[in-house]
Amino acid sequence: MQYCRTTTTNHSIALAHATCLQDINSLINEEGYQTTTSLFTGGEIVLNLDRAENIIAGIEGRLEKNKSMDLAFGIKNEDATKTQMLLVELKFKVTDLYAIKKKDLEQKVQGSTLILSSNPPICKKYIFIFKTENLAEAMHRLYKRMIPKIDPTYVAMDIQHLKATYFGA
């Protein structure tokens, strides 16, 4: 499955709240990715889910906001017959990987699911992006040391792996 701009920009949240659409480079930089050049060069647009939750909470009159993943984007299969939304959390600022708790990760997925609903369906793989130098430790934490155990659908990777997997090399 690969990034799909059309699925992203035609999502009901994007259509109702265009300010939730954001260039992926600016979002990852806001979340702590440090680079001097743009990592993504194809004008990739994503949904800023934190912004969407702020808007929805305001509309609903909720003072307490649900936890949410940082971003989501549409993905499609090779012949574009199947589309999904992929949830991504950016953990560039995390220094203490043992502070990451299963309940917090699950709440982020749950809150994001409430924002996006199920049209198109949400991919059952939830991506957590860490700095490359922290990735091995993050994977060890998520897959081996987290108690209680986290579901294997929670996937740790670095930003280069995300790009290669869903946006092409």
- Residues 85-105: tens digit of each pLDDT: 999 999 999 989 888 999 999
What are the residues whose beta carbons fall under 8 Å from the beta carbon of 169, sequence distance 6 or more? 163
- Residues 29-64: tens digit of each pLDDT: 999 998 767 899 889 999 999 999 999 999 999 999
* Backbone phi and psi for residue 58, each to the nearest 5 degrees, phi listed first: -65, -45
pTM, 2 dp: 0.94
Worst-scoring range by mean pLDDT, 25-29, 58-62, 140-144?
140-144
Domain ranges across the chain: 2-166
Q: Retrieve residue 20's tokens.
A: 């939730």
